[in-house]
């Protein structure tokens, strides 16, 4: 595996692959890699000839009081995992390389219609930070395919819309959320949790599964389900940011007649913000 941090070295490596007509797959990450990231790299390996992963803790997607400074940085361990997974190139730019004139002065990519609700409502500017950096990275790497985890459901929806709206010739692929044996969705932020908090955190997925099963069995009073679900999480110590039953494509509140539904949740345990989701298809016959 090669590791590059200069744009010209990245471009040279990619150009070589393009000239040899190789398909390039790209896995953008913020590092502190876990089995979820590695499943993306392995899938990328199956789908393309050359796999590029980036590690960049993107300052533009963190709010003023969020965890940018304490976000875990574990480059050596990340590299070892990437080598094992067969990654070909690791791109590790600095903030100055990505935003040479600073965050304020940098051109932004705004994706309206899908970024105002859910995480976008409680983390203003977050998705502009994500779409802007992903746009820059896509332009630098020029991948044929880019892979994202389903855990960040809204992020994937934002990126799909950006790619479609801006006519970017990139196939967006998703990989199912990897979970701990307890059901807890794997996340770099799980490292902030104590052992006891980890046990409590697993209740998020249990609740989502329970709600999904009720809906599959015919429950359609979504407001009551959400109210009860929020109370269940609050009872075990969560501060719930949102719990919603949404249309899978628009993320607007689901109506009883909708068939493609996604349950999404964001909740804080202590100072750690966790997100998760489950999608279900209801038969309309
Ligand atoms: O999901 C992440 O790790 C980040 O939001 C991403 C896509 C790498 C952009 O910084």
Per-residue pLDDT tens digits for 65-114: 999 999 999 999 999 999 999 999 999 999 999 999 999 999 999 999 99
**Ligand 1 atom with minimal separation from the 152 CA:** 1
Please say whether the dihedral angle defined by the alpha carbons of residues 187, 188, 192 and 196, taken in this order, is positive or negative: positive
Q: Is 166:183 a contact under the CB 8 Å cutoff?
A: no
What is the mean predicted confidence (pLDDT) over 278-284?
91
- pLDDT value at residue 159: 98
Instruction: Calculate what percentage of the chain has a pLDDT beyond 70.
Output: 99
Tokens of 79: 């590299």
Between the CA of 130 and the centroid of ligand 1 the distance, in Å, is 6
Angle subtended at Cα 177 by Cα 172 and Cα 180, rounded to the nearest 5 degrees:
160
Name the 3-class secondary structure at 40.
helix
Between the CA of 220 and the centroid of ligand 1 the distance, in Å, is 34
- pLDDT value at residue 283: 83
- Ligand 1, pocket-test mutation among 93, 130, 140, most atoms within 8 A of CB: 130
Domains of the chain: 2-175 (3.40.50.620), 188-277 (3.30.1300.10)
pLDDT, tens only, 16-38: 999 999 999 999 999 999 999 99
* 65 labelled catalytic: no
For residue 285, what pLDDT band results from cuts at 50, 70 and 90? low
Residue whose C-alpha is closest to residue 36's, from 191, 131, 173, 148: 148
Q: Is 271:192 a contact under the CB 8 Å cutoff?
A: yes
Nearest CA to ligand 1 atom 2: 29
Q: How far apart are CA 227 and CA 233, in angstroms?
A: 10
Q: Is 71:32 a contact under the CB 8 Å cutoff?
A: yes
**Ligand 1 atom with minimal separation from the 57 CA:** 10
Tokens of 101: 């004139």
- pLDDT value at residue 191: 95
* Whole-number Cα distances in Å, 27 to 5, 36, 88, 162, 206: 16, 11, 11, 17, 29
Tokens of 173: 């692929």
- pLDDT value at residue 240: 98
- pLDDT value at residue 71: 96
Nearest CA to ligand 1 atom 9: 130
* Candidates 37, 88, 118, 126; catalytic one: 37
pLDDT, tens only, 101-130: 999 999 999 999 999 999 999 999 999 999
- pLDDT value at residue 81: 98
Q: What is the CA radius of gyration of the chain?
A: 19
Nearest CA to ligand 1 atom 5: 130
**Ligand 1 atom with minimal separation from the 188 CA:** 3
Between the CA of 146 and the centroid of ligand 1 the distance, in Å, is 12
The DSSP code sequence of 50-114 is: EEEEEE---GGGS-TTSSTTTS---HHHHHHHHHHHT--EEE---HHHHSTT-TTTS-----TTT
What is the mean predicted confidence (pLDDT) over 170-192?
97
Pocket of ligand 1 (CB under 6 A): 28-30, 58, 61, 130, 133-134, 152, 155
Between the CA of 5 and the centroid of ligand 1 the distance, in Å, is 17
Tokens of 201: 């955190």
pLDDT, tens only, 199-245: 999 999 999 999 999 999 999 999 999 999 999 999 999 999 999 99
C-alpha of 186 from chain center: 11
Nearest CA to ligand 1 atom 3: 29
- pLDDT value at residue 168: 98
Q: Which helix (H) or strand (E) holds 53?
A: strand 50-55
Q: Is 251:125 a contact under the CB 8 Å cutoff?
A: no
- pLDDT value at residue 185: 98
């Amino acid at each position: 595996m090669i590791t590059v941090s200069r744009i010209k070295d990245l471009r040279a490596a990619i150009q070589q692959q393009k000239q040899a007509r190789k398909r390039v797959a790209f896995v953008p990450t913020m590092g502190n890699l876990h089995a979820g990231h590695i499943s993306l790299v392995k899938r990328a390996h199956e789908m393309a000839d050359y796999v590029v992963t980036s590690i960049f803790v993107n300052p533009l997607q963190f709010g003023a009081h969020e965890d940018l400074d304490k976000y875990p940085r574990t480059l050596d361990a990340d590299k070892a995992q990437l080598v094992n997974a067969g990654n070909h190139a690791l791109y590790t730019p600095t903030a100055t390389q990505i935003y040479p004139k600073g965050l304020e002065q940098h051109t932004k990519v705004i994706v309206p219609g899908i970024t105002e609700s859910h995480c976008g409502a409680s983390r203003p500017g977050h998705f502009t930070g994500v779409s802007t950096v992903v746009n820059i990275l896509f332009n630098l790497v020029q991948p044929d395919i880019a892979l994202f985890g389903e855990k960040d459901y809204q992020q994937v929806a934002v990126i799909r819309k950006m790619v479609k709206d801006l006519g970017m010739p990139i196939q967006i692929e998703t990989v199912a959320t990897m979970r701990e044996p307890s059901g807890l969705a794997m996340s770099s932020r799980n490292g902030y949790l104590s052992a006891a908090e980890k046990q409590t955190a697993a209740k998020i997925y249990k609740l989502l599964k329970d709600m999904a099963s009720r809906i599959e069995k015919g429950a359609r009073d979504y407001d009551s389900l959400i109210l009860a679900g929020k109370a269940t999480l609050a009872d075990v110590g969560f501060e719930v940011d949102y719990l919603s039953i949404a249309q899978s494509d628009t993320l607007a509140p689901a109506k009883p007649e909708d068939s493609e539904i996604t349950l999404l949740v964001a909740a804080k345990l202590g100072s750690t913000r966790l997100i998760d989701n489950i999608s279900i298809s209801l038969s309309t016959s």
